[in-house]
Amino acid sequence: MASATATSSSSSSSHDQDQHASGESYIECFRRVAGGVSAAASGGSARRPRAGIALVRINDGSCVADLQIVVDSSLCPLDQLTATGACVLVEGKIEQVEGAASASPQHAMQMKVDKILHIGAVDSDKKYPLSNAHPSPDIVRANPHLAARTAAVASTARVRSELVHAVHAFFQSNGFFHVNTPIITTTSAGNRGKMFRLIRIFSKSDGDSRITPEVVRAAIKSKTKQVEALKRSESNREAHEAAEQDLQRATALSGQLEQDDFFHCPAYLTPCHTLHLETYACALSSVYTFSPAFQAESLDSDTDRSMAERWTVDVELAFAELEDAISCAEDCLKSLCSTVSKDCSDELKFLSSSQAGGETNSVIESAVSSAWQKIKYSEAVSTLLQVTDKTFESKIEWGLALSQEHLRYLADDLYKKPVIIYDYPKQLKPFYSRLKEDLRTTSAFDLVLPKVGIVACGAQKEERMDNLTSRIEESGLQIEQLEWYLDTRRHGTVKHSGFSIDLERLVLFVTGLKDVRDTIPFHRTKGHAKC
């Protein structure tokens, strides 16, 4: 964490820093004090600065390293400058730290401030939420609007940014076209109960309060009681008719809210981009999209899988079979891991050191350099059934989904490398995955990374109309809502395959973080959507 201190006497204490000072020659710096308060130290030993001098470690978020600045009290009130969370813009000269010959290189340089251009002061009446030098993960997650000022979150953000850049670089350099697929969809590829439905909120005028489904339901209940009371009391006809009309209007409005009046049909936040992406693969051959996906699944005990909003890289290749999709996914992930390992080495080293037993760099290097294990689903089940030195809580049986503990055993304990599992039973994969000759399995795969689980999944798509319509019916989906998708088979089809990469789980793998909520700037999980 970045740290700061103001010294008005001759005493000071030693503090072990999480980061090292930058050796870059900044003339003008925009830096933010983002961590706990401590006395400045060089090489692990305490120094005694002059009275009226502040030694402040600051960081602009561009790298892991801090820069120490030296500020004289004649330039500004030091308590404003050294308050944790303060934002400063200073001008000065880079100089060697006194006694730096015996200090570590990263602590050898500092800036002597000549001019203070700006101080974004901290409200002294309200405690800065992240004033602790090592705030707990729960405190950081509870303040997502300030979380990026911590060293761990800032480092993770830089890693994520590099991965996003690397995604586009990989596909653009390999002849893929980027396509923007819709976030709002009327199509379901699976269980609508796991989708977020869109409801338009009506208002009579800009000045009126918004009308919500809850308000309308309450109005219907109230108007119904009023009508029944008027009937019993035999009141005048006009009052009775007016109450009846109010009830009819409220009922009609309720129907509008439930029928999604804006689109004239139910609409949802998309949980998957593959169906729409396929339409462009039939025209542009090789395409990809990088978009958010949404899933209204409540899995309180499994935070790793219960992200309501996540980002995915979806890829589709025309004239391609399952093996082509697997090869592309493997090449892509190896390229992304290699790039981030090289360009974010400081961040990965810092994050690894903050994790218990972290060995992030070695895990990445092993994944990039080794050949990945490929096994069929049937082989995976057979292998797990033969395990005698471990007891699994989840049932192992052909036709059942492999649980997280099954997958991690294969990747972490048995093969100790990424594992690609393919040829799944048809009931475990979406209707669009291509049915194999045995009529029991489909050409689909999952890519499992050690310590994390499934990071990518994909399939060869079913191009045969009869098989596709049969799978849709078996899945309980309405063919009428998928007529547009079936058109892509009716009007000139081709064998094609694709896959999807879960960005948050990939960040989890390369950083060594333990909780997927820490891989995204503003996590959305059940009961949590702050900011």
List for the chain the helix, strand, coil content (%; round to 5): 40, 20, 40
Sheet of strand 496-502, all strands in order from the earlier edge strand to the far edge: 177-178, 286-294, 309-318, 496-502, 453-460, 441-449, 419-425, 373-376
Q: How far apart are CA 446 and CA 462, in angstroms?
A: 17
Of 41, 29, 31, 17, give the one whose Cα is nearest residue 98: 41
| Exposed / middle / buried, residue 110 (Cβ in 10 Å: 0-12, 13-18, 19+) | buried
Q: How far apart are CA 25 and CA 6, in angstroms?
A: 24
Q: Is 191 left (phi over 0), alpha (psi -120 to 50) or beta?
A: beta
User: What local confidence, expressed as pLDDT, does residue 273 receive?
Assistant: 95
- DSSP annotation of 410 reads I
Check: CB of residue 525 under 8 Å from CB of residue 166.
no
User: What local confidence, expressed as pLDDT, does residue 428 receive?
Assistant: 96
β-strands 309-318, 184-185: how paired?
unpaired
β-strands 177-178, 184-185: how paired?
unpaired
Bridge partners, residue 67, by sequence: 58
- CATH superfamily placement of domain 151-188+282-518: Bira Bifunctional Protein; Domain 2 (3.30.930.10)
Q: How many CA atoms lie within 13 A of 342 on its CB side?
A: 8
**What are the mean pLDDT values of the chain's consecutive 10-residue runs (531 residues total)?**
32 32 34 33 35 86 90 88 87 83 65 92 84 84 91 95 98 98 87 78 52 74 83 73 82 64 84 95 96 78 69 97 98 97 94 69 87 97 95 95 96 96 97 96 97 96 96 91 94 95 96 93 88 83
Please state which CATH number belongs to domain 34-39+51-128: 2.40.50.140
Largest interatomic CA distance in the chain: 100
Q: How far apart are CA 150 and CA 142, in angstroms?
A: 13
Element (H, E) at 375: strand 373-376
Element (H, E) at 505: helix 503-511
User: What local confidence, expressed as pLDDT, does residue 191 receive?
Assistant: 67
CA 227 to chain centre: 51
- Listed in sequence order, the DSSP H helices in 264-401 are 274-284, 322-343, 345-354, 360-369, 377-385
| Torsion from C-alpha of 240, 242, 247, 250, nearest 10 degrees | -170
Q: How far apart are CA 167 and CA 97, in angstroms?
A: 41
What does R_g of the chain's alpha carbons equal in angstroms?
A: 30
